[in-house]
Structure 1
């Protein structure tokens, strides 16, 4: 029947009375019959079961429920129910978060919730929803508080809302957490904090922040070793971790000697980590802007630290020029000092001396020196601070300039020169062309110029190396043999001449006189630049063009010897040899003009027949007697020319040159053919003579060969006879010797067999004898050993028995011997047997046996 509702165990239904519009609750197990005016409103549904550790919320709970009356509901209110007996929902009540009724009758899974479990080092944070008493405390709506675990929040109520679960912050060793107050509060340690104020929590362990505390960051500590430190700056007024008040902007140093680990407080900022500066023995440094004992930075001042020492740089301090080594000066070393201000110099080993600003002085070795802060060490030209004595060998020198007077001088060796405090090395610059000339030994030009060979021996490694020339060294040049070099001193406008082989040394205000000479064939001006003047004897070659009176143009290659003829030591004549800068071009032009003038007056045939004489007369001229002179001397530069030689003459015109070449070729051909024919006739004659000698020799050789052949045949016949006779005789002798050897071998074999058998029998006999003797000897030794062993064992037994008797004693042995019989006698006595019955035996044992027999006999009699 559809009007019958079956309500099972742990189920309930809501039935609506449509006439009164009142809903009643029916809880099973039962069967409910619906009246005509009733209908099933809800159900059947399961009773709500809240397991342990869970809860549910009922909206609009019933205040007073009476059957048949309208339910009074608390609309808008929520009732929290924990573990209890299964209960139904009254009409109008709603299970919070449950699914809609009628869709799933078991839709309580979302409504039954777990109670919040707060672990250790956790807290559940709550917020009050209304004003009133919450958890026994008067609270206002919006108030926050938290409950720390471990706990289960089983007093859940509608007036408080869980906003979340807070985990504790773990503070390790050398760590802290930075906290910020959200509003005015009092920390767990009892310190009041204003809203927005920050502080550090350093206690090792777990820290559970309060509801109005915010964790900003985890701050690790700076671990400081003894050689480490920190530069700290205060961002505002505060008290540092060492409990010292600091003003905003103040900077200070914290070292590992003060504290092992440092956690900056709120208001402190770590600028950087610094290492301890360690100065070893012999080291020093200058600290700028040092900090005094009160921690005040003395801007602009300096402080000198000398090793052995270690220190930390305070904020604002810097090391000027880094850590430096003390100056260790040898006997040939020094340093130049310059005072920065007026002070009293108390250098070690010297009397105190007043120094003024700008004073320069020198300290020489051997000694160790650390300069005070009132002075500077003057750098040398090469960037070095220590001056060393410059060793100078023979013909070596340096250019030195005096800073006070400006004078420059050359210091020459052999010596070791140490610059004074007012001296410095001076660099002498040379023109680029002079540098190249010195690099090539004295001259530069094209590679095919013959005179460049003069300078190969004068190439100096100082100029020819890959490294640049040391400009402070005195410039030297080895003048080649039979040459002259002019050195010009431009301050005094005078020059001097150095003759080779010698060393030309330039003073600080001297330069070489560079000569631009003509070279090549034909001569080309400025082809050779040199500082050497070749004095000769030498030769000059040139090619000149001439034209005869019949207009035959010729090219003449000639060479002439030259030398300078002057009085060495006469300054006037020495200067004259350099008066003509291009003496080669000058001589070639003079000689060429004379030759061209002389050739232009003669015809080609005459020149061809008398060219040598014509040129010599043209160049050297004749004397008053018409004799040709032997030399030509130029008074302008004392150059003398001798011995002109014509190397070749060839026409300039190609047609004339071809005609002369053809005539020369025809003459050569005629001469060649004459020589060839003469040689042919001579060869034919010699050939016939050789053939005659060859035929005669062939006939002689045939005669000698026939004689030798006849002798050969005779020898062959003799050899054949000897060979046949010797063969038969040799076979007979071999057969006889064979039989003799076989018989002798049989005899020897029988003899050897007999000897071998004798040896075998004798050997067997000896072996048997030796075996019997060995066995006999072995048996004797065995018997002897066995006898000795038994004898020794007997002695040992005797000694053992004697030792046992001695150790036990006679009395003890006696007592042991009579102990058994005595005990038996006592036994018989205890049985009531008289002692007379015992005394008849020979021994206690016999007596005992007798007594036993007696006892047995008496017992038998009694039975009978």
Structure 2
């Protein structure tokens, strides 16, 4: 607002000074906008309501279209209308009552379709939310924040206690009331055959497994339970049930049991399953009941919440090394085990044997003791290799090298399958500790460990091979000489036949050359004449085409010059027109600016101020003449009247100059 300063120059002369403190802009309000105002002092607002200092209120476009700033009122912020579409809701904290007084601690639910302004002190809890649209296979879990009366899906009135949990099933569109809080959203879990989940009851803590085929919806007091597994079991399941170095033969057997879900990462809430290969057995231990069960393949082993697999640590390699392979399944056979042994004969010749023996397990399905006995020896491979190796070493130590070299198979067969009590030969060897049966044994190779003995054996073998090779070489040489003579006779006959045929073909060639020469001479003359005629035709057509193109080029050049002249003239006309329009716009703008300046000056000074300025001069002059004893009349000589007002103004100016 302009500030007015009035100072007195003399007893009857005053000077008016205006100072602009600040400039406030008019605020336009629409239906969807409003202003949050704050009173800096106690006053009455534009609507005639008394406002105390510090009080805040809301002015919307529904009350007035424009707002002019009021002294003592501060515009805190601009507010927009909050719009709730269909299916949306929000909770307003500390809502105002009908007298616009905030109700602290209260919460109010507002649903769409609706719109409103937030009054000072009101806040929206968690923003604008969408309603819960539940399909047939979805549900939500809600908990009561305070005790209230509710209506269930059957339309009956139910009293909900504070902290009570219950579920709301679809299909439904649900907007929670202010006494209810949504804590989780559930969806039915589809389970196919041999699929399952682990579910824990949060009231009792009991964990159970739910198996398909079915679609299961978790209850309000249930949640998915993550089953922990040992890292070694996790690795074995990813590799199909066995781990070890790549040269172990049995590792390839586990590839058929690799489950893709373990390669991507196990979902710990899903029931753990393992596909047992054929002719294998898997032992599952229940640590809660302290029992064990055996699953025979091909079958699917399913772990309960408190069950886990028995991990077998087996020997592997040649010679056998303990703990070289980890496995979940035990191979029941028929299978074979290969090993490498070092034996020593009675004459102290040390030999290296490579053997392989067939094996299988004897068991009775359904008999718990018989099934458990199969797993009585964890490392059955190392156990069998050690037992068979000890028998072979003992038997070889009783015979000399020469006898063992000639009758190695009989010595080893007697060592493994001979009954020590009766002395008779058995058809198999059975280990009572785990019912493992060895049915046959094969000697793959026998090599001396001593280098000198190995060299002497190599020399004797090489000598025998050399004698055999020489005899075969002599027979082959004789046969080659005979074949060579036969081939020479056949070659000479073939050369004579070829010469005869070549003479016949040479005669035909001479005849064809003569015919070709005649055709060539005739064709050359014809081709030259035809080429000359075509050359003349092409030259004429080229001249005609060149003349046509020259005429077309002249036409194009003429039209191009004409077009360029037209473009120059149009450009000059457009330039002159744009200059005229610009000058006209400039004059119009200057006139508008001058009119606006004069109008703004008049509005700034006000009608009362202008009237005071207009009458200030004459009033002063009248008072001055009155002080000199003159009247406000016109002094004239009859020809040129003199205005005493102007004379007074001159007197005043002369007085100031003096």
What TM-score does the superposition give when structure 1 sets the normalisation length? 0.55
Q: In structure 2, what is the equivalent of residue 400 of structure 1?
A: 199
Q: After the TM superposition, which residues 238-387 of structure 1 pair with which residues of structure 2 at under 5 Å, given as runs?
A: 238-346=43-151, 350-379=155-184, 385=185, 387=186
Shift of 1:349: 5.0
Matches within 5 A, 1:347-496: 350-379=155-184, 385=185, 387-465=186-264, 468-496=265-293
Once the two structures are TM-superposed, the CA of residue 250 in structure 1 deviates from its matched residue by 2.4
- 2:92–2:125 Cα contact (<8 Å) kept: yes
Query: For the Cα contact (< 8 Å) 2:315–2:325, is it kept in 1?
Result: yes
**Structure 1 counterpart SS, 2:163:** coil
Q: Could you tell me whether the CA contact under 8 Å between 2:3 and 2:21 is conserved in 1?
A: no
**What are the superposed Cα offsets for residues 167-204 of structure 1, whole Å, 9 maximum, x if unpaired?**
xxxxxxxxxxxxxxxxxxxxxxxxxxxxxxxxxxxxxx
- Cα separation, partners in 2 of 1:220 and 1:347, compared to 1, 3 Å: farther
Residue 519 of structure 1 pairs with residue 310 of structure 2: no
Alignment CA distance shift 1:515-1:221 (3 Å): farther
Report the counterpart of residue 635 of structure 2 in structure 1. Answer: none
Give the CA deviation at 1:588: 1.4
Structure with more of its chain in helix, by fraction: 2
Q: What residue is the counterpart of 2:633 in the other structure?
A: none
| CA distances 1:435-458 after superposition (whole Å, capped 9, x unpaired) | 111111111222222212222121
**2:453 maps to 1:656:** yes
Which residue of structure 2 aligns with residue 544 of structure 1? 341
Aligned-partner Cα distance in 2 for 1:263–1:610: 123
Classify 1:692/1:470 alpha carbon distance in 2 versus 1 (closer, same or farther; 3 Å): closer
* Total equivalences in the alignment: 505
Name stretches of at least 5 consecutive residues in structure 1 with no aligned partner. Answer: 1-121, 140-144, 147-209, 380-384, 714-718, 720-864
Closer/same/farther in 2, CA of residues 246 and 417 from structure 1, 3 Å limit? same
Q: 2:77 is paired with a residue of what secondary structure?
A: strand
- SS of aligned partner of 2:319: coil
Q: Report the aligned-residue RMSD.
A: 3.0
Deviation at 1:312, TM superposition (A): 1.8
Q: Which has the larger radius of gyration?
A: 1
User: Is residue 140–residue 167 contact of structure 2 (8 Å, CA) maintained in 1?
Assistant: yes
Please list the CA deviations of residues 484-531 of structure 1 after superposition, one character each: whole Å capped at 9, or x if unmatched: 111111000001111111111111111111111122222222221121
Q: Is the 8 A contact 1:241 1:263 kept in 2?
A: no
Contact 1:329 1:364 in 2 (8 A): yes
CA distance in 2, matches of 1:655, 1:292: 112
Alignment of 1:655-674 (within 5 A): 655-674=452-471
Judge conservation of contact 1:339–1:376 (CA < 8 Å) in 2. Answer: yes
Gaps of 5+ in 2: 512-658
Deviation at 1:264, TM superposition (A): 4.6
The verdict on how the C-alpha distance between 1:596 and 1:625 changes in structure 2, with shifts beyond 3 A counting, is closer
Name which structure has the greater RCO, CA cutoff 8 Å, separation 6+: 2
Alpha-carbon offset, residue 239 of structure 1: 3.8
SS in structure 2 of the partner of residue 378 of structure 1? strand
1:30-45 matches, cutoff 5 A: none
The 2-side partners of 1:280 and 1:227 are apart by 15
Matches within 5 A, 1:806-845: none
Structure 1 distance, partners of 2:4, 2:176, is: 72
Determine the C-alpha separation between the residues in 2 that align with 1:545 and 1:277.
Answer: 91
Contact persistence 1:241–1:264 (CA under 8 A): no
TM norm structure 2:
0.71
Give the deviation of 1:343 after TM superposition: 0.6
CA deviation vs aligned residue, 1:755-784 (integer Å, no higher than 9, x gap)? xxxxxxxxxxxxxxxxxxxxxxxxxxxxxx
Looking at structure 2, the residues matched to 511 and 503 of structure 1 have their Cα atoms a distance apart, in angstroms, of 14
Indicate the SS of the match to 2:479: helix
Instruction: Give the structure 1 partner of residue 297 of structure 2.
Output: 500
Q: Output one character per residue of 1:19-69: Cα deviation in whole Å (capped at 9) or x when no partner.
A: xxxxxxxxxxxxxxxxxxxxxxxxxxxxxxxxxxxxxxxxxxxxxxxxxxx
Counterpart-to-counterpart distance in 2, 1:277 and 1:124: 44
Specify whether residues 282 and 630 from structure 1 end up closer, same or farther in structure 2 by C-alpha distance, changes over 3 A only: same
| 1:216 maps onto 2:2 in alignment | no
Say if 1:623 and 1:629, in contact at 8 Å, map to a contact too. Answer: no
Tell me: CA distance 1:554–1:264, structure 2 relative to 1, closer, same or farther (3 Å): farther
CA contact (8 A) 1:222 1:261 kept: yes
Quote how far apart the aligned CAs of 1:124 are: 13
Worse-matched range after superposition: 507-516 or 283-292 = 283-292
In the TM superposition, 1:757-836 aligns within 5 A as none
